[in-house]
């Protein structure tokens, strides 16, 4: 991992430049993420409609153009999420680094606020409901 440790959790928290968020702080970013994601979904749908009409004239070229447009649109979405200080994960799922050790706050498209978490070495299928939100709203010392 690095010269100090082989523990991936320690590497993640020490070497990652992403900010830590309390639950309240992360939830203030969620409306921006929702807006970005809704625009991206609209852009993907527009690309699909365009490809379907272009397919009538040249199917291989239309498919190639569509594939490129999808890739560029998803890449733009991911970059915008990173600029907000969060991790883009899969299709329209976003993780925030929590102050709690090796814990991520998890949001996915369709949710209005963050209500789930998982460990850093876990993924979306391991999400668990946040049972005590007040614990995630405190900035804890990592020392």
Q: What is the pLDDT of residues 107-125, one digit of tens each?
A: 999 999 999 999 999 888 8
State the pTM of this model.
Answer: 0.81
Supply the pLDDT for residue 94. Answer: 97
Low-confidence winner among 14-18, 20-24, 123-127 (lowest mean pLDDT): 14-18
- Tokens describing residue 102: 């090796």
Given a contact cutoff of 8 angstroms between Cβ atoms, the answer to whether 83 and 102 are in contact is: no
The per-residue pLDDT for 7 is 44
pLDDT of residue 8: 46
User: What pLDDT does 79 receive?
Assistant: 97
The pLDDT, as a whole number, for residue 140 is 53
């Amino acid at each position: 991992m690095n010269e100090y440790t082989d523990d991936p959790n320690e590497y993640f928290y020490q070497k990652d430049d992403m900010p830590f968020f309390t639950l309240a702080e992360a939830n203030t970013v969620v409306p921006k993420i929702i807006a970005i994601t809704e625009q991206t979904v609209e852009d993907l749908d527009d690309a699909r409609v365009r490809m379907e009409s272009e397919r009538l004239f040249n199917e291989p070229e239309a498919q190639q153009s569509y594939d490129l447009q999808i890739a560029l649109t998803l890449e733009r979405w991911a970059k915008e999420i990173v600029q907000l200080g969060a991790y883009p994960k899969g299709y329209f799922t976003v993780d925030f680094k929590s102050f709690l050790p090796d814990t991520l706050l998890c949001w996915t498209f369709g949710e209005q606020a963050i209500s789930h978490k998982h460990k850093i070495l876990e993924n979306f299928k391991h999400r668990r409901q946040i049972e005590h939100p007040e614990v995630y709203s405190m900035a804890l010392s990592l020392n």
